[in-house]
Chain A
Amino acid sequence: MKFLPLIWAGLRRKPAHPVLTFVSMVAATMLAGLTMTAGRVLPQGPGHELDMAVTAIAGLGFVMILSLTANAMAQSVRERGWEFALLRTLGFSSQGILTLLLCEVAVPCLVGVVTGQLLAQLFLLLISQLLAASVKVMLFLPLASVGINVASAVLVAIASMILPAWRLSRLNLAATLARGRHG
């Protein structure tokens, strides 16, 4: 609980980073949802080519968000070295700061997943209204799919922390503080 104000301050300090993570996550979830819908609606050939294409596109979306989020986190740590050095000096442990950073990336990831899923459902609902009676959309949210989405959000958050964690472990407190807030 003591991290909550710090997480909020971190999110507001560099809003571009969480916004990018959030939008990437929404885009990837919608990409997966819409391609899977297309996979069910469009006519299939004898094999399962479309299924493979759908999985490939969903995987591509995952790699896309991972690279963007990892880049955002790496930049965040690079630009905020002074802040982390100050927190370390105030008595925060390395693990504490890593937890803080993990929460900072996990919050937009999870909110993005939920928003993406809701937007995909809303889109399908609109489509079913527009296409009259031929397509019926059932709002159906199996636990497994929610689990996969949440797990992918957490995985993205953890994977994007590898570079920043290594960077933080090598932070020279005295030199960083001596340089001051703006280098």
Chain B
Amino acid sequence: MTGDTGKRQLPPIPHPDHLRKQAKARLAAMREKMPSARLADAQVTLAREYGFASWAALQAEVAQRVQSPQGQWRHVRRAHLAAFRPGWWRQDQPTEEDVEAVAAFFRAAVILQMGFVLALAGGLALVLWVMQLNGLLPAMSIHLNL
């Protein structure tokens, strides 16, 4: 099963907690009709609605989507103002997901900045080279005065 044949469609980047909450809600609904229903029954029913053979297969697909570049990007996009989110100072300990999101943002920031500096240096070198080829560069001395 691939998830395409189910009655419901998974969002592009599903949240594992959201699915777990859905399973618990489904269990509550099932227990009203059948008091002996277990969480595993609710999970299998939900997984089949999404077109998966089992709850484990659904979770594996969710984990794969979260680890995909799109999933990582969503992480980064959510994290960039993590420290300035309303009420962040009231939480004494951030959730594990928050810590991971911040780490993903830091990694992205380091890579982007290094790329930016390399592009700037390369661009300046290219401009100077083209200017020299066209005889536009006068003889000069540069005092590096940062």
Contact = CB atoms under 8 A, between A and B. Distances in A.
A30 B137 contact: no
A31 B94 CA distance: 34
Nearest to A139: B144
Interface string A36-57: 1110111100000000000000
B34 interface: no
Contacts of A138: 141-144
A90 interface: no
Interface in B110-146: 110, 113-114, 116-117, 120-121, 124-125, 127-129, 131-132, 136-146
Nearest to B93: A183
A33 B143 CA distance: 11
Given A27-B113, A145-B145, A41 B137 contact: yes
Quick one: which of A41, A133, A140 has the most chain B CB within 10 A?
A41
Interface size class of A (residues with CB under 8 A): 35 or more
Contacts of B138: 134
Contact of A30 (B89, B120, B141): B120
Contacts of A19: 106, 110
Given A20-B109, A36-B146, A30 B94 contact: no
Interface size class of B (residues with CB under 8 A): 35 or more
Contacts of B146: 29, 32-33, 36, 117, 120, 145, 148-149
Please report whether the interface of chain B is mostly helix, strand, loop or mixed according to DSSP. Answer: helix
Contacts of B131: 41
Interface string B78-112: 00001110001101111100010011001101100
Given A27-B114, A163-B83, A137 B124 contact: no
B117 A135 contact: no
Contact of A74 (B83, B103, B110, B139): B83
A38 B124 contact: yes
Quick one: which of B82, B137, B146 has the most chain A CB within 10 A?
B146
A100 B88 CA distance: 23
Contacts of B125: 123, 127, 130
Interface of B: 82-84, 88-89, 91-95, 99, 102-103, 106-107, 109-110, 113-114, 116-117, 120-121, 124-125, 127-129, 131-132, 136-146
Interface of A: 16-17, 19-20, 23-24, 26-27, 29-38, 40-43, 68, 70-72, 74-75, 78-79, 81-82, 117, 120-121, 123-124, 127-128, 130-142, 145, 148-149, 163, 166-167, 170-172, 175-176, 179, 182-183
